Structure 1
């Protein structure tokens, strides 16, 4: 883990950065500062540009450091971009710094809606930065989605080789306290639009997120759900076979799009109703 990445994950760094951004916003300078930062990073060769199908986006803060990891993600994003229409509603659950959020925001256009769920404060700020430099919008929410309602602690670990691991649990200790909510509850309570397409990448909590969306997923006539299944699902009391059973139970057809081997195995599923 590089020192630069580690420092950006530090809670003190995050708190200071949030405070500075709030001050700049009050002064009306936040957009100007973001543009200057983007220009500087671009000149320094630190801006990543990604083109997929009919859309492209730039990223100042970026998670997938390994090009091999990005190769798989591009295939999934390409399928999503190919599937969504202008005006669709897209939920990005586990949005991280916005790899999917920014590209799909462009695909659904201003007529569509993107809701990005990212509970970690550092990644949320990076997500917002990336939305700004791409001139796209999304509703950014900080709830951690699950199949229950409670407070929890999010522990964040960055790994250079295999991306990030995010765990939400009840354990006391260092981490960020977050609201854990059911998808069905937050959609009804906040009057969010019903999703047409959902992407879930939650480092093992996939089954819990799906169970929390059971009513919505069951009631909609048409919906596509893209799920990155992790070996760590057993840490959250579930299994990959239970995910398949759950989806088929509510009348979704499931196909395996890709498999990726790192220090563990990730399976990329597409469920269609």
Structure 2
């Protein structure tokens, strides 16, 4: 009931969102690199993000760069609505893509988007990728800024990347938990990473210096792709 009331409130506050619901519109179509990706929405924020992605306003340059790197096994860590993993799976139908998303609302949205795009080579796991195997409390709001909390969240399993088969391409967008993901990685590979500000990193006991130390330990070379003040995108490669 709470979710239903929240959706009704969002619809009444946003005429465009309300219009989409009343007209029966179920998804936005994103054209990128010759592909047409369908992104559904069940909340106002998912609607807004999918719409902006359809207009090429969100990380289009990074997404296009990601799609140029060929790999057989691919991990999208911090999937949100799944666009990176879904676009990759659609472009490379022989590749195996796993999307990791610990937020339940986002996880369900990714499931819907995988089904909407008819992808047999893409799956999603409700897991927080970290440096150890265990359980955490994770906030569950369906936003892109969800995080580990001390109370009020839902239990979510954590696994290091070493638990999974070796990937040849990884995307990391985890709102400051980059260090935990990198410490759970035991081999050099191609990575697209969003490096967040010191404030975000500090929530997980990291600094930009500790991140770069781990990058060096993995024998990875960084290439700056974009600098957006609060975060930078890098391509890390062996």
Query: TM-score category by the smaller chain?
Result: 0.7 to 0.9
Indicate how the Cα distance of structure 1 residues 6 and 76 shifts in structure 2: closer, same or farther if over 3 A, else same.
farther
Post-superposition Cα deviations, 1:120-171, rounded to whole Å, max 9, x if no partner, equal 111111101001111113121112111122211001446xxxx6212124x1
Q: CA deviation at 1:240?
A: 1.9
1:101 paired to 2:85: yes
Structure 2 residue 192 is matched with structure 1 residue 226: yes
Distance of aligned partners of 1:65 and 1:134 in 2 relative to their CA distance in 1, 3 Å threshold: closer
What is the Cα deviation at residue 67 of structure 1?
Answer: 3.6
SS in 1 for 2:148: strand
- Structure 2 gap ranges (5+): 9-19
113, 136, 145: which one aligns with 1:152: 136
SS at match of 1:71: coil
TM-score, with structure 2 as normaliser: 0.81
Matching residue of 1:272: 237
User: Quick one: distance in 2 between partners of 1:234 and 1:75?
Assistant: 28
The count of residues paired between Structure 1 and Structure 2 equals 216
Q: Is 1:75 paired with 2:61?
A: yes
Confirm or deny that 1:126 pairs with 2:109.
yes
Find the counterpart in structure 1 of residue 168 from structure 2: 196
Q: Point out the structure with the larger helix share.
A: 1
Q: Could you tell me the TM-score, scaled by structure 1's length?
A: 0.71
Q: Confirm or deny: 8 A CA contact 1:84 1:107 kept in the other structure.
A: no
- Taking a change above 3 Å as real, the CA distance of residues 7 and 204 of structure 1, as seen in their structure-2 partners, is farther
Could you list the runs of 4 or more consecutive aligned residues of structure 1 that deviate by over 6 angstroms after TM superposition? Answer: none
* Residue aligning to 2:35: 55
Q: Measure the CA separation in 2 of the matches of 1:226 and 1:101.
A: 12
> Tell me, which stretches of 5 or more residues in structure 1 are unaligned?
9-39
Q: Look up the SS of the partner of 1:76 in the other structure.
A: helix
Secondary structure at the aligned position of 1:100 is classed as: helix
